[in-house]
Every structure is written in structure tokens, then in C-alpha cells.
Structure 1
Amino acid sequence: MLPQIPQLSDYDVSPVNGFLPTEAPLDFLPDPYYQPWETTVASLQALILTQRIRRVVDALPVLSTRYLADEREWRRAYSILAFIAHSYIWGGNSPADRVPPSISVPFLSCCRHLELPPVATYAGLVLWNWRPLDPAVPVDNLENIFTLNTMTGSLDESWFYLVSVAIEACAAPTIPLMIKAFEAVRLDDGATVTECLRSFAEHLDKFGALLQRMYEQCDPHVFYHRIRPYLAGSKNMADAGLPNGVIFDDGSDAPQRYVQYSGGSNAQSSVIQFFDLALGVEHRPTGEKAAPGAAPSPSSSSQDAAAPPAQQHNFITDMRTYMPGPHRRFLEAVSSVANVRPYVRARPNDRALTTAYDACLAMLRAFRDKHIQLVSRYIIVKSRETRNRSSSRSRQTNLASGSAAPFKPTAIGSVGAERIHGASGNDNKNIRGTGGTALIPFLKQARDETGEPAIDAWARRLLNNGPSDATSVASGFGASGSSGRVGARLTKVGEHASGEMEIVGLAGVWTADDSEGGICHW
């Protein structure tokens, strides 16, 4: 018996706003009992700048969550406490590895209720952190939405969150659309499947334009040096001063243990993972290549194909544990009914169907290309500049002191200060993403894997950056293999044939062949 097609309402997914809530998030908690939290989160910028955040938080009362009346209040409380916790951890001259009971006790309670880890996730930073100016205007209109909370008080930080909010809202119609496609596959209604895929491709084409609006009001320098440090989690943060992670002190006499969690990441967006599941795009652990000679995907005679089993150490799979419980279960339900890819593969002669499917892959791949460009500008370029300055200071210090010892600055945490890598700061391979992975290799691999399911041989050559058979020439336009067929190559955006990425900008020209980076890296 085929599994049931998931109903959006069963998983807290809105047919209008997608993974964003149908009702706008609360501006504040209505019960005056929670005023100490609201006052603190409203003053984060001033408290961080004057380095009073820890004294204020230490003095807060330990409030109960029993007076939170509904899901909107639980989400507001979680978001507030996540912002305060991160400000407390990173808002001093060195990071704090212990969060006091005034925040830990209610924060852990909210996390249990919402099925989230105790860290500022994408849900708290983006999904539940916006309000509309005019409720009648669509949420994907960036001019009509504002953030509720930031840590730095800057327009840049607000804009950074809002671009993701707009993309989530813009993507919302694709969720019921692809659910309809799943149902059409079961009815063997190829015309409806084709129409759904065409509409899906048109929506995917819009996301890249929204993503590129990030450049309008979020300055790379401000993001890298003033915003990014506060978004860091507690995983792989030894170089930043948290070798063991953090302790959420519950105030009890029981032994307290350190925990480590990844910081906020766009990989925690359920809608991006929904795209992959709907189209049957499979991702391998970072660095793992497809088996030589393996088919892009096994053909299936059934109309529903179960998703491939989750693999250990797969970053994308791991990121599902940072999504709200209902959204995580929705993705699991979708993976059990996603049937479009095997359906299209079984009908290679239906040109309209295969072209529509391959167009979706092309649009999703183009979106990932734009994301790589954005990460390069906001993270890689700024990281290179920082390391160059560190090297310059190191040489000057050694010359002045006459010492041959390497310069090793300590990490500092005030707003606007650089958190320096330490002794290994000049090693490109030490730059890590918030999720604990090498982000540029991860993004490039995810981008390349997006083209693997392409049905048409010509489309597969384009989307996979080269001919699909070993007898063809692997690069260049107009090159022909022994078969006599012309092999086209879709060059990766801003990359050389070798896979190195060329960046041209204020920092000049350089290549990043194995650089790593993320929303926050050390």
C-alpha cells in the first residue's frame, strides 16, 4: 500500500506562507511576567557595545514557561532567548562557556516544546523573526517586512535575515504545487505533472533575483566582522575560545555537561531541502564522489520511490535536526512519497515532461551558483583580507621584537573586533562553516549534484559540466569526441575548468580552489 500524500496542515506548513507561519510572529509576549526578557532583547545592541550584557543577564530572574499560552508565544520566547544566549556567549572580551539559569532554564524548556536544539537556529533567526508593515501585502515583498530582533541593531543584520524570509515566502506556492505533482503521478496524469514542473521552474527562477538583493543593504565588511561572530554555534569552536562547547546551567546540583551545536545555517531551511526531495536530487557526504560508471539514478517501476537512506556524516541530513519538529517530519513524509524523478525517467520520450523536469534542475542549479557567489563575496574575500592583515601585523611584530616566534593574537569579542584564527589562521583549510563543514566544497558539491538526475543526455552534459560519456572531450565548447558528437560544457559561474573559482572585486583577483567558509568560521 502506498504511503499517504502528506497534508500541509498536519505539519504546520502554510499553503500561503510555506514554512513561515500563516500569522505573522508576535512582536512581543503579551504577559507582563515576561517583560524582563523583552526589555533585555530590545537593548541587546547597547548592552553588547557597553559590555554589560553578562551582568544584566546574570541578574535576570529565572522565569517559568508555564504562562506561554500558544505556539506563537512559544516561538517568540525561543527566538528571544536564543538572541540573548548568543549575545551572552559572544558579547565579551572572550566567549563565555556557561549560560546562566536565567536563560538556560526557560530556553531549554522552549527547545523541548518546539523540538529544537538550544542554539539560534534558522527558525529563530528567520522564520519567526519578522513582521509586515502592511499585512495585506505579500511577505515576499522586501519593502514590506521588518525584523523583530537583531543583536547588533544594524540594518545589515536585519536585511540579512529578511532576504531569507522573502525567499521562504516566494517559495511557498511550490509546496502545494509539488504535492499536486505527486498526486498526478499516482494517477498517471503526465500533462498535470508537466504543468506542475513548468510552474515550479518559473518559481525557482525568481529566487536567485531575491538572493542577489542581499548586496543592496548588507555590506560584506559589516556582516563578516560585526554580525557573523554572534551567529556562531558551539561546535568546532576551539580556535574561538570554546574548546569544549557550552554548558546550559540549569541551576541544579547535578553535574553539568558541555554540549556542542552548529550555528544558524541556510541548510536548516526546510524549503531548500524540499526542493531536492521533490526533484529527487540526492546529496552525498561532503567529499564523497559518485561511484564511477554509476547511473544517475536507478529506474523504478513503481510510481513512488522511497528516498535513499540517510547516510552518516551527511551535513544536509544532520541539519534536519535543527528544524522545528513538524517541518522535519514533513520532509520525512515527502521523502517517502516523492515520485516525480522515477516517473520522468520511465518516460524519456515524453519531450515536454523531460524538458520541464530538466528545466527545474537547471533553475535550482543556477540558484546554487548565485549562493556560491554570495558566500565568496561575504566570506572568502573578507577572510583573505583578514588573514593578509594578520600576516602583515605578524611581520611587523616580529621585526619590532626581534623574535622569531609566530604572531598569535588572541580572540576578542567586542563588536567590530576581528576574531583571529590563532596560530593556524593562515591555513585556508582551517576556515570552517557554522555547521562544522567546509562550506565552499559543500556548496560546490551540492550544486554539482543538482544536475546529476537530468534525463535528457544533452541536458545532463550541460548540467554536469561536461559530456556524459568517457569518449567525449571533457571541456570546451565545440569539442567533439570519438563518437563525432559535439560535447557542450556549461562552465561553472566564475570558475576555471579545473574547478578553481575566480573572484574579481575590491580585493583583486584570486583563486579559491580548496577554501572553506561559512556564515561564521574561525
Structure 2
Amino acid sequence: MTLKLEDYDMSAERGFLCRHDPAKVQLSGILKKSAETAMRLCDVMPTGKVRSYLIENLPEFDRSIVDTLTDAEARMAMVHYSFMIQAYVWGEPETPSVLPRKLAVPITALSKKIGQQPLMPYSGYVLDNWARFDENGPIDLSNIYMVQKFLAGQDEAWFVLVHVAIEARAGACLAHFGDVIDAADQKDAEKAQALLEDMAKVWVDLKHLFDRMPERCDPYIYFERVRPYIHGWKDNPALPNGLIYEGVDEFEGKPQSFRGQTGSQSSIVPSMDALLGVGHAADPLKAYLDQLHIYRPPSHRRFIDNVRAKSNLREFVSQSGHKGLVEAYNANIQAVADFRSRHLEYAASYINKQSRKAAGNDPDVGTGGTPFMKYLKKHRDETEANLVSV
């Protein structure tokens, strides 16, 4: 049976982005009040009193509400609550050891509803947190804005929106996965070649979008005013024992440790690895990336797992002796490697270089607690090692 995007809550037009329009989701009751409280974060954060603001303005949460929510409503509520949680933990100089029940109870209930972890995920930061100025226009950088924000600066918005644009454009590539897998199974080299050539063209666009990051997101501003609020509480020296979720019975008052939001939770590159048969030798970064799999939306995890289970593309290409097919396959391998190269460059300029200027920062650790600098090049090189000889 052909693998179809709609079976995984995906589409050719949006890729892994949510299929609903976030700005159109109407929350009611206490969730409406909570959303209104969250949307004022950019006004409150500069006061240095975000914690008292949140506790004074958030309503008590009724867990039974969650059962009545549609998927779109639950995910939009997750966006707002995840921003408030990150602001509560990282929005003032002293790091708290306890997340108050007004935040802990709803984020745990909502995360359970949508099958993710109880803090800000990439889906809450990016996939479900965008809207279009022209509702009938494209999902590209000329027509999108960030719905929920921390500080509302240009650099914060641009960082998120570049990711949104990449996710949307990737849909055209992901839409070919099922047909490519079928073509390999049927040993149809001509069809597989044509599909892979189209996918490689999409990757040219993805790379161009990624190249635009420095246009409106400055490395210093990113490090000082964007990145601080998206950390998690696993392998984080500021919260070495994790965070207590007050009022959440299932955690029994014990501190919990979760990875922070990171672009590495995007499912685009892991999906390509799964399709192309790219693997990585064991190292700390691979172990970290493997851990991130549970932070993705369940349907996206299932897509990656199913692609890896179904695809014999690399074996087919390697044994085909078909020059055009090999070249088309290699074009995709090289495109992913080039994308990883750009990520390595950004990791150096946006994190490593800035960390060396800031006291108390480990320059080799990424946003989610990633041991990145030593291993990103290795993963890029391992990707290129999958090029097939013509």
C-alpha cells in the first residue's frame, strides 16, 4: 500500500506543519483567558516580574476540559502554555525548582492529550505557531507571522519563520516518498529517477531558505534574547535535578527532566535519512537525536518509522547500474549533506562563538543539551559517505 501523507497528519502543501490554521482556532472559557495571558508575555517579560504576572492572571485549570478539545484546540492551547512555562522557568535570573500547579497541571494534561512531553516542543514553537497575512496566499516568508512570542523582536520571529517556511516547502519533497518507495519495490528506475530529481530541486529551495537566516536574525541577539527561553531541564546545569511539577499526581512530587526545544526535533532530515537509508555510527549526538524522537508528534514519529521500515531505495539504487538513477539519488544525499553543513556553520556562529564570549557557558553544548560541535561534522561526513558510485 502506497504511503500517503494524509495518513500521518501531513500534506504536500504544508509538510509537517499543522493542517489547521492556528490563527483561526478559537479557545473558550479558561483556555481563552490563558491564551490572553500568554499573548501579553512580550509586554511583561521586560519587567522582570513574569512569574507573579502568570500566577496572578492564570485561572485554575480543570483537567476535564482537555477531553472535550479538538486536536487543533489542544495543540493551540499547548502553544500558549508551553510559552508560559518557558517564560516562568527562564524569564527571571533565579531558576525555580518547582513549576506551579497553574502551569504544571495544564501542560501535563495537554501534552498527554497530544502525545508529547510536558514542556515546549518544536511543534509548539514552530509547527503550530504561525499564521498568514493573506489566508489565500502562500506559506512563505513574504506572508507569514509568528502567533505566540516571548519578546516579539524581529530576530525571534525570523528564527521561527525561516523554520516554518522550510517545513512548508519540504512538503513537496515528502509527498514523493510513497511513490519513490513503490518505484524501488517495482524496480522502476525511470520513475524513481524522475521523482528523486524533483526532490533534489526542492532541496535547493530548502537550502536557499536556510541561507536566509542571517538576514534578520543576528547571532548575538539570538544567543542573548531568543535562545535563553527555549532550554529544557535535562542535562542543564541550571536545573541539575530537573523540575518539580506541582499538583501532578503521576510524578509523585519527584523532579522531572525533559529535553529543550530544538530544530533537531524537526522531522525533515530524519525522514530523508530513513528514505535514503542513511545511518550514523554511535556517538553522543546520535544518542541525543534518538532521544528526541519521542518529542515529535506521534503521527510524525510513525511516518519516520514507517519510511525506514518500508524503504529499500538505497539497495535498489546500488544494485541498479542505472547512471541517471544513481545521480538522482546522490543529488539528494548531497543536498542533505549540504544542509547539515549549513547547520554546522550556524551552530558555530550562533552558539559556539557566542558561548565563548559568555561566562559559564559550555561552547560545545547546543540548545537542547546537544554535544553538537564535535559530532555535527561527523554526521555530515557520514551522510556524504552514502554516495553511490556511478
TM-score by length of 1: 0.71
**Deviation of 1:189 (Å):** 1.2
Mapping 1:449-488, distance limit 5 Å: 449-456=382-389
User: Which residue of structure 1 aligns with residue 179 of structure 2?
Assistant: 180
Contact 2:317 2:325 in 1 (8 A): yes
Gaps of 5+ in 1: 289-312, 387-419, 458-522
1:23 CA drift (Å): 2.5
The alignment status of 1:52 with 2:49, answered yes or no, reads yes
What is the aligned-residue RMSD (CA, Å)?
1.9
**Helix, strand or coil at the partner of 1:14:** coil
- Tell me the CA shift for residue 167 of structure 1: 0.3
Aligned to 2:312: 339
Residue 494 of structure 1 is matched in structure 2 by none
Deviations 1:66-125 (A, max 9, x none): 165311110001111000000000111211121111111111011001111112111000
1:322 matched to 2:295 = yes
Confirm or deny: 8 A CA contact 2:227 2:367 kept in the other structure. no
Report if aligned partners of 2:42, 2:152 keep a CA contact under 8 Å in 1.
yes
How big is the shift at 1:336?
0.8
Residue 124 of structure 1 is matched in structure 2 by 124
- 1:438 and 2:371 correspond: yes
Q: How many residues align?
A: 387
Matched, 1:274 2:246: no
Aligned pair partner of 1:358 in 322, 326, 330: 330
**Alpha-carbon separation, structure 2, partners of 1:191 and 1:252:** 58
Cα 1:50–1:27 change in 2 (3 A) is farther
Give the % identical residues: 29
Residue 350 of structure 2 aligns to a residue in which SS? helix
Where do residues 101-500 of structure 1 align in structure 2 (5 Å cutoff)?
101-139=101-139, 141-238=140-237, 241-250=238-247, 255-286=252-283, 314-347=287-320, 349-386=321-358, 420-421=359-360, 431-456=364-389
Contact 1:97/1:242 (CA < 8 Å) preserved in 2?
yes
Q: How far apart, in 1, do the equivalents of 2:250 and 2:276 lie?
A: 51
| Greater helix fraction, Structure 1 or Structure 2 | 2
- Residue ranges of structure 2 left out of the alignment (5+ in a row): none
> Residue 23 of structure 2 aligns to a residue in which SS?
coil
More moved, 81-90 vs 371-380: 371-380
SS of the counterpart of 1:131?
Answer: strand
Rg comparison, structure with higher value: 1
AA of the residue aligned to 2:276: L
Q: Could you say if the C-alpha distance between residues 84 and 452 of structure 1 is closer, same or farther in structure 2, counting changes exceeding 3 Å?
A: same
Displacement of 1:62 in angstroms is 1.9
Residues 152-191 of structure 1, C-alpha deviation per residue, up to 9 Å, x if partnerless? 1211111110000000011001112121111112222110
Query: Would you say the 8 A contact 1:287–1:441 is kept in 2?
Result: no
**C-alpha deviation, 1:284, in angstroms:** 2.5
- The match for 1:80 is 80
Residue type of the partner of 1:20? L
State the distance in 2 between where 1:197 and 1:251 align.
Answer: 48
Note if contact 1:285-1:315 (Cα within 8 Å) is conserved in structure 2.
Answer: no
Q: Structure 1 pair 117/251, CA: closer, same or farther in 2 (3 Å)?
A: closer
SS in 2 for 1:143: coil
Counterpart of 1:9 in structure 2 is 6
| Equivalent pair of 1:76/1:128 in contact (CA under 8 Å) | yes
User: C-alpha separation between the residues in 1 aligned to 2:4 and 2:177?
Assistant: 12
Q: Is the 2:10–2:16 Cα contact (8 Å) retained in structure 1?
A: yes
**Offset of 1:232 from its aligned partner?**
0.6
For 1:304, the equivalent position in structure 2 comes to none
Residue 27 of structure 1: CA displacement? 5.2
CA distance in 2, matches of 1:174, 1:127: 17
Which structure is richer in relative contact order (CA contacts within 8 A, separation 6 or more)? 2
Distance 2:382 2:250 in 1: 50
Q: Which amino acid aligns with 1:370?
A: R
Give, in whole Å, the separation in 2 of the partners of 1:31 and 1:315: 38
Amino acid in the other structure paired with 1:169: A
CA contact (8 A) 2:167 2:268 kept: yes
Question: Which deviates the most, 51-60 or 76-85?
Answer: 51-60
Corresponding residue number in structure 2 for 1:20: 17
| Distance of 2:91 and 2:25 partners within structure 1 | 23
Structure 1 position 41 matched with structure 2 position 35? no
Give, in angstroms, the shift of residue 16 of structure 1: 2.0
Structure 1 runs, 4 residues or longer, greater than 6 Å off: none
Q: Which moved more, 1:52-61 or 1:12-21?
A: 52-61
Instruction: Please state whether the residue corresponding to 1:203 is helix, strand or coil.
Output: helix
| Rounded Cα–Cα distance in structure 1 between residues aligned with 2:187 and 2:342 | 35
Aligned amino acid, residue 151 of structure 2: T
CA–CA separation in structure 1 for the residues paired with 2:323 and 2:249: 66
Distance in 2, Cα, partners of 1:345 & 1:193? 13
SS in 1 for 2:96: coil
Cα offset, 1:57, TM superposition: 2.1
Could you tell which deviates more after superposition, 332-341 or 375-384?
Answer: 375-384
Contact 2:25 2:72 (C-alpha < 8 Å) held by counterparts: no
Maintained 8 Å contact 1:262/1:434: no
Counterpart-to-counterpart distance in 2, 1:49 and 1:226: 11
Give the deviation of 1:251 after TM superposition. Answer: 6.0
